[in-house]
Amino acid sequence: MDPVLRVTHISKQFSGVQALKEVDLDLFPGEVHALMGENGAGKSTLINIISGLIRPTSGTIELRGERVQFQGALDAKRAGISTITQEFNLVPQLSVAENIFLGREPTGPGGLIDWKRVREQAAATLTELGLDVSMNQRVEYLDVGDRQLIEIAKALSAEFGVIMMDEPTAALNGAEVDRLFQIIATLKQRGVAVLYVSHRLNEVFRIADRITVFRDGSRVNTCPISSVSADDVVTMMLGRELAKAPLMQGEATGKREALSVRGLAIPGAAHDISFDLSYGEVLGCAGLIGSGRFELTRALFGLESRSAGTVAVRGEPVGLHNPREAIRAGISMLAEDRKSEGIFPDLAVLENLVVNAPGARSGWRFIDGRRERHEYEEMRGTLSIRAQSPRQSIVKLSGGNQQKVMLGRALVSGSRILVLNEPTRGVDVGTKMEIHALIRRLAQDGYAILVSSSDVPELVAVSDRCLVMSAGRIVGILAKAQITEAQITALAIGRGLMEARP
């Protein structure tokens, strides 16, 4: 059998950075081909090239034996290549059937939409996929899992020969994943070639026929899934073997217990979350997108509701229904995205900094200008914030200095427990080093710090212990001696889960 898609010697350079080096990949009809690799290995670049979003620096793409050159995403679509990503291209206000045929509505006489055909074909597609949603349902009433399946229905009804899925399960729960996999099986029977990009080992071993591993922009290997073990894949991804030492559950390193989480569950995101955090300790928190890490940090600050479990601060159970309760309990959070959830763009540096200070919390008193000024100067010294004046507009500061102001906001609130989300995202290297040093210094001063980050080297640099989440669970808590990038990555992609299964 000939491959439906074959890419040969594809390279891509982004302003001097070699994102892909001479990679080859082929896809056969009726095959599920898994593509794995660490962040930055080049998976997304390849997907973007095949779907016509970016053009390769060199190399060729052949579709059914013919060489193609896509000028844009539409070209690839017309050629029968569909890409399903995290962001859906659905119009919420339109019905399921309308969405399936959006942009290629069958028309009858006079250029009017042939609704009969739309309905018939939509119904046929939905039946084939075994979807129990009504085609007249408006998409806005569907949950994430259903929406994704509508995307697949779209691809199926357009008779795409190649469907690429980029982390399709990141936002799905267990039952939805099962349903998706059934549908992928149906696609296989129809002779569709599926390129499946995932960080999750157990999924790949469940559905893939072959696997290709990328590392640093190069292809490491392509082989049938039956010929490799999970450890082989991890070794290929990391480029070295991982010590098989049993995982120690790192014990809290500080002296006094600050935060104690027991059996925490967040609907649709995480469950059975239990860990302790002491004063004087930095606890790292690793996990891929969709691992529940993000939701966990938000739940600790009252921004995400939990369905079970308890959180105790210094042994006292706390409610944490909203950020006010969290701050009252002595917990402050650094928002993951400072632009959308951190800075007040119209307020000055000082105002942004002290908005959480105890003196500024109650509305009915005069602002104590001198006290604020004092707090500002103190934080400016501690964090070495480079601002021209406290009255300067916050948006005129560099990303790094904005981030320091956000850190200062958490500190002036008087909280001794800090939940830091992506503390160095979007800051320059120098500031990054400063912030890392600051986190260590704060821990020495007795703060209890949870650092949640997608930057694995960062976690290695600052953590005393590091908990790793995968698929909504804590899959390991690494002690200081065990914290390596390789160990964290292996756990995050689900090696722990694989071993737990018989």
Partner 1 sequence: MNAASSSGGEGRRSGAASSVRFLQYFESFGVLLLLVLVVLVASTVARGFFTYTNITNTIIIASITAVTGFGMTFAIAMGGFDLSVGSVQALTAIASAMLLEVTSVPLAILGALVLGVALGALNGTLVSRLRMPAFVATFGMMSIVRGVALLVTRGQSVMITGRPGYAALNNGKVLAVPVPFIIVLVVFAFLYVLLRHTPFGRHACAIGGNRRAAIATGIHIETTTVLVFALVGLTAAVSGVMLSSQLLIVDGTLGTGFELQTIAISVLGGTSLAGGSGNLLGTLIASLLLATISSALNILKVEAFYQYLYLGLLLVLALYLDTLRRTFIANSILRRR
Interaction site with partner 1 (CB under 8 A): 301, 303, 322-324, 326-327, 333, 335, 340-348, 351, 355-356, 359-367, 369, 388-389, 391-393, 395-396, 398-399, 409, 426
Nearer CB in complex with partner 1: 327/468? 327
Nearer CB in complex with partner 1: 26/295? 295
The CA-based dihedral angle spanning residues 208, 214, 219, 222, taken in that order and rounded to the nearest 10 degrees: -20
**Minimum distance from CB of 188 to partner 1 (Å)?**
42
Nearer CB in complex with partner 1: 94/355? 355
Does an H or E element contain 244, and which? none
- 495: closest CA among 378, 487, 473? 487
**Minimum distance from CB of 300 to partner 1 (Å)?**
12
Is residue 463 a contact partner of residue 284, using CB atoms and an 8 Å limit? Answer: yes
**Minimum distance from CB of 502 to partner 1 (Å)?**
43
Phi, psi angle pair for 392, to nearest 5°: -65, 145
Nearer CB in complex with partner 1: 59/426? 426
**Minimum distance from CB of 393 to partner 1 (Å)?**
4
Is residue 483 a contact partner of residue 491, using CB atoms and an 8 Å limit? Answer: no
**Minimum distance from CB of 387 to partner 1 (Å)?**
10
**Minimum distance from CB of 422 to partner 1 (Å)?**
14
Which residues on neighbouring strands pair with residue 164, listed in sequence order? 83, 195
Nearer CB in complex with partner 1: 63/326? 326
Show the beta-strand stretches assigned E in 131-256.
162-166, 193-197, 210-215, 218-224
Which residues on neighbouring strands pair with residue 286, listed in sequence order? 468
Structure tokens at 234: 């991890």
Residues 6+ positions from 56 with CB-CB distance below 8 Å: 10, 11, 12, 20, 49
Nearer CB in complex with partner 1: 333/469? 333
**Minimum distance from CB of 283 to partner 1 (Å)?**
21
Compute the distance between CA of residue 36 and CA of residue 212 in angstroms, rounded to an integer: 6
**Minimum distance from CB of 395 to partner 1 (Å)?**
5
**Minimum distance from CB of 426 to partner 1 (Å)?**
8
Is residue 112 a contact partner of residue 175, using CB atoms and an 8 Å limit? Answer: no
Nearer CB in complex with partner 1: 298/306? 298
Nearer CB in complex with partner 1: 21/328? 328
Nearer CB in complex with partner 1: 27/354? 354
Helical residues (DSSP H) of 356-415, grouped into ranges: 358-361, 369-383, 399-412
In this structure, which long-range contacts are made by residues 61-68, counting pairs with CB atoms below 8 Å and at least 24 apart in sequence?
61/5, 61/6, 61/7, 61/8, 61/10, 62/3, 62/5, 62/6, 62/7, 62/8, 63/4, 63/5, 63/162, 64/2, 64/4, 64/161, 65/2
Compute the distance between CA of residue 66 and CA of residue 414 in angstroms, rounded to an integer: 66
Nearer CB in complex with partner 1: 111/345? 345
Interstrand relation of 17-27 and 316-317 (parallel, antiparallel or unpaired): unpaired
Q: What is the DSSP string of 428-439?
A: -HHHHHHHHHHH
Structure tokens at 318: 């706390």
**Minimum distance from CB of 287 to partner 1 (Å)?**
21
Compute the distance between CA of residue 331 and CA of residue 461 in angstroms, rounded to an integer: 23
**Minimum distance from CB of 342 to partner 1 (Å)?**
5
Nearer CB in complex with partner 1: 363/381? 363
**Minimum distance from CB of 388 to partner 1 (Å)?**
6
Nearer CB in complex with partner 1: 145/359? 359
Nearer CB in complex with partner 1: 134/384? 384
Structure tokens at 166: 């980029």
**Minimum distance from CB of 207 to partner 1 (Å)?**
37
Compute the distance between CA of residue 296 and CA of residue 294 in angstroms, rounded to an integer: 5
Edge-to-edge strands, sheet with 218-224: 81-84, 162-166, 193-197, 32-36, 210-215, 218-224
